[in-house]
Amino acid sequence: MMLLLGCSPLLGDEFVVPGELPTERIDVDFQSIAVRGDRVEVSDAPFLWFDGEGLLEGRSDGLYGPDGRQEAVAAVIWAGGGGDWLAATEEGVLASDGVLYAFAARALACDGERRLALVCAEDCQVLDLDSGDLLGSGGVGGQITLFEGVAWWTDPMLGVDGGTGVARSEDGDERLGLAGDHLRRLGHGWVAGAFNQSIVPNRGRVLSLDDDTVLAVERGATSRPLYVAADGPRVAIGVPQRSMLLNVELP
């Protein structure tokens, strides 16, 4: 169902979806989403990504592909891309080539060229697993990604009442939310916050890492984080508390 509804005049430069951009609403339960071209996929697995034209799912008991389980690895966190994958296990971070990195990771990212982990002790740091370089400070509950070869990470400021959340890159770029956004989830060029009940009108905000574009979702409920995945002009925004996926087409 394609929705083109009226937009709120209160949001200024933010694009309301559904509203100002062509948006398909899909009612579906999900734990993860992935986008490739015009394809938008969801899964009940907590981790999902495209590997070539196929989909891979990271679950607590292993890595699954179209033909079933490919790797029997007990892991709490997965990441994949560029033919590579990483899994956070009890022993450390296991890679697709069998290398085991002796770190306890809170988040992972890889793209076939680089491997990154968010490691937390007294504070949280983004670590290049191969070089050992620390790229910058993240935060508990944050995510990391590689977007066009550049590392990005988030600090959602979960312990701060009305925290803005922030996304930072290794190149020094930064995206800052509004009070209560708690920017957290990353998805190929975008960062999504929680549904923000501290601003009027209440809404969830999804910010581009590439420019000043902001997508605003006014149909949330509780202050749970939105999901986001993208590829080119296709942006999928997941609203888990409403079992709703918004398939947005940018100009």
- Say what the pTM is: 0.93
pLDDT at 9: 45
Classify domain 2-249 at the CATH topology level: Methylamine Dehydrogenase; Chain H (2.130.10)
234, 118, 128, 242: which is closest to 187 by C-alpha? 234
pLDDT at 13: 78
| Per-residue pLDDT reduced to its tens digit, 84-129 | 999 999 999 999 999 999 999 999 999 999 999 999 998 999 999 9
113, 122, 119: which is closest to 95 by C-alpha? 113
Q: Can you give the residue ranges of every domain in the chain?
A: 2-249
pLDDT along the chain (251 residues), means of 10: 41 84 96 96 97 93 96 97 97 98 97 97 95 97 97 96 97 97 97 92 94 88 85 95 93 89
Q: Residues 6 or more apart from 13 whose CB is under 8 A from it? A: 212, 214
